[in-house]
Amino acid sequence: MQRVIYGVLLITVLALSALPLASTEQVSAANVLPKIQFDSENYIGVVGSNISVSVMISNATGLFMYQVFIDFRPDLLNVESITQGNFLNRGGAIPTFWVPENGTPGLIKAFCSLARGNPPASGNGELFKITFSFKGTGITVLHLHDVHLYDQFASEMLFTTEDSVAMGGSSTNRWRIFI
């Protein structure tokens, strides 16, 4: 009789200890956060050359508007142009894309929003593209900060970000990267 009670108790404990693991795996797999990152971990160029840098989003669900700020070394890079990506204008929507002149060297501020009535965007894609020219030699971090993502109800969404690195050298001093 005691063996039966211990056996039932053991089976119950094992069954209950497995439940939290199963539910935790389901929650983590179902709740993958959107990620804002650059299209490359690093960019290499020489003084006078241009690089195109795309700011990408992945795993988005219901994105309606965003704000992204990027810091970089202005003695190394110069912004040549910033153009809207295709992520928010899927399905024929025409979002408002705005990059104000902010008077601060080494800082980009980008904003984009859909008009009311347009469906929000989901999935992966390009938010915007920056063309930089190298004007000096050295290394700079392309740092994403003050990033905000909103759904169609103006509720802020959770997300993650990942910075990148740009390296410029002279035509006689080429960079080698070992990762």
Which tens digits make up the pLDDT trace of 74-101?
A: 999 999 999 999 999 876 778 898 998 8
pLDDT band at 21 (very low <50, low <70, confident <90, very high): very low
97 and 11, same domain (yes or no):
no
From the CA atom positions of the chain, what is the Rg in Å?
Answer: 23
Mean pLDDT for 16-29 is 40
According to the model, what pLDDT value does residue 1 have?
52
Contact 68, 36 (CB under 8 A): yes
| Domain with 5 in it | 1-31
Say whether both 27 and 91 belong to one domain: no
Q: Are residues 94 and 8 in the same domain?
A: no
Report the pLDDT averaged over residues 16-31: 42
Average pLDDT of span 140-168:
94
Name the token pair of 53.
């840098």
Mean pLDDT of 23-38: 66
**Residue 51 pLDDT greater than 90, yes or no:** yes
Q: What is the pLDDT of residue 171?
A: 59
Q: Is residue 19 domain-shared with residue 64, that is, in the same domain?
A: no
Residue 40 lies in a domain: yes
- Domain match, 159 and 95 both: yes
116/50 same-domain check? yes
Q: Is residue 143 part of a domain?
A: yes
27 or 41: which leads in pLDDT: 41
What is the average per-residue pLDDT within 24-28? 40
- Same domain as 64, residue 11: no
Looking at the structure, tell me whether residues 113 and 73 fall in a common domain: yes
What is the number of other CB atoms lying within 10 angstroms of the CB of residue 171? 9
The yes-or-no verdict on residue 134 having pLDDT over 50 is yes
Q: Is residue 175 part of a domain?
A: no
Characterize the bridge pairing of strands 65-71 and 107-113: antiparallel
Neighbours of 109 (CB within 10 A): 16
Residue 148 falls within a domain, yes or no? Answer: yes
Whether residue 48 is found in the same domain as residue 65 = yes
pLDDT: is 72 or 25 the higher one? 72
Domain match, 15 and 96 both: no
Into how many domains does the chain fold? Answer: 2
| Domain harbouring 68, CATH code | 2.60.40.680
